[in-house]
A and B are shown apart, each in its own frame.
Chain A
């Protein structure tokens, strides 16, 4: 399974990569939103774990851009939003895209990783 992790906090990025690789996935990582956009267009990923607050743009910008290659259903299945911001506005916007939102820090690490691999929560 090919996963893209878009996260600019390097410790989190690298740790997620290692943990997901231990679960059998092939993981690519980027820290910049602009690089994420090009990578999404050039390679096929089954899952995209995307942080919202990046240095250059937001995760929502990346999702908007990927509408040019993915349908809304694909977007809601592929993208998993991770964020430290849990305000109502953020949650509402994420819901508009139909994506799963995971709040950092993950209270249950194993559950978070399972969700990233399966693309589903059990709720």
Chain B
């Protein structure tokens, strides 16, 4: 039943005013609703077409409600942390800052208390915002984050009614989107770290039925060898680096002074001494340099001369292996292999030390290291004339913590095993009547110069 009293000719001025007020309010409401719906649609599109939070915020400049605005600031405080991240997003660039939580909190509170969200510069405390003039701000309390959003035209004019209204509409819908993008960032970070962890894992992984699992056998022998190895490697790396630098300076000083002494007038008696000093200095420098090549804390492969590397390792083991006559045998002409020098050196080092300890009471003890190239492989075989390893123990020797020494850690061969795999090769024990024999097989690429 229609009540036409408001539209009848009897309607008086007062009624007409009331009608137009109501009609305006209805229109405004409709506008607001359709604005909000449109906003959702647009923000959904932004959400799906951007990869991260910064891209999403930059997309907001495409909104009509941000026409004329130049800068968006987003302060993000992850609950529980003492710092606040701060994104300053312009139409074409962005900058990231970090702030203390105390500045953020007081700012957050003052925005919360504000009614029309419109601020002049005097309201900023503790932040260097570089915003000229007035800005609109809104605070959000999400489950894991507190946020402050600021938009500014970078001028001194106060905000118009429309701008304030549009900002309110925008912020009423924006918080969930920001929350989604923040969570997306977190998930992406975690995915990346997990992927890294899998790639760098010393453990064998097997894939099956859409999942990746640790190999059963590996789980049972958690490769402690490798973990300890990594820890020792870092400390060793630091020590070597410091030693090298500390030594290289005084040695260089000696070299320079000696050169000067030779340039100046000298008597004939002193000359041979000065020359001997020079020789010792050169030897010291070459030792430092060799060990620098031997030890590089990197996962990278490079071309190295394996014969030179093995001889350098022999020098390193001198104190433990004086009684062991060591030599490298090869029928190949000088060649290089593509490998990681540190890992290979560590393997040879462990094997030489083992040999030296096993042959402690052997007369005329020797260790021969044979290198040859066969098709696509480098074969490095180490054999000594010690007691060897009895058959029943052979399957156990590469397992972590297996040792026959009183003071052994049982990690040496386990480390060799894990490093051989990292070198994309393998190591095995060869049966022999005459002593222990280890065979390392590495891939060989004939990279001709």
Give the interface of A toward B (CB within 8 A).
9-12, 14-16, 18-19, 53, 84-85, 104-106, 109
Query: Min CB distance, B199 to chain A, in Å?
Result: 23
Interface hit among B23-31, B125-133, B243-251? B243-251
Give complex CA distance A12, B245 in Å: 14
Give the interface of B toward A (CB within 8 A).
245, 248-257, 259-260, 285
Question: Which 9 residue pairs of A and B lie closest in terms of their CB atoms, listed nearest first?
Answer: A11-B253, A15-B256, A105-B252, A12-B253, A9-B249, A84-B245, A9-B253, A84-B248, A11-B257
Give complex CA distance A115, B346 in Å: 40
Q: CB distance B248 to A104 under 8 Å?
A: yes
Complex contacts, B285 vs chain A, CB 8 Å:
105
Chain A residues touching B, majority SS:
helix
Q: CB distance A14 to B257 under 8 Å?
A: yes
Cross-chain pair count, CB within 8 angstroms:
41
Give complex CA distance A2, B403 in Å: 66
Give complex CA distance A11, B254 in Å: 7
Complex contacts, A11 vs chain B, CB 8 Å:
250, 253-254, 256-257
Q: CB distance A16 to B245 under 8 Å?
A: no
Complex contacts, A14 vs chain B, CB 8 Å:
257
Complex contacts, B257 vs chain A, CB 8 Å:
11, 14-15
Give complex CA distance A85, B257 in Å: 21
Complex contacts, A85 vs chain B, CB 8 Å:
245
Q: CB distance B256 to A12 under 8 Å?
A: yes
Question: Of A12, A16, A85, which is in contact with the most chain B CB atoms at under 10 Å from its CB?
Answer: A12
Query: Min CB distance, A110 to chain B, in Å?
Result: 11
Query: Min CB distance, A102 to chain B, in Å?
Result: 11
Q: CB distance A104 to B249 under 8 Å?
A: yes
6 additional contacts, CB 8 Å, given A9-B249, A12-B253, A18-B260?
A: A9-B252, A14-B257, A15-B256, A15-B260, A19-B260, A84-B245
Give complex CA distance A19, B263 in Å: 10
Give complex CA distance A105, B248 in Å: 7
Give complex CA distance A31, B31 in Å: 77
Give complex CA distance A104, B245 in Å: 9
Residue of A nearest to B253 (CB): A11
Query: Min CB distance, B277 to chain A, in Å?
Result: 12
Residue of A nearest to B250 (CB): A9
Q: CB distance A12 to B252 under 8 Å?
A: yes
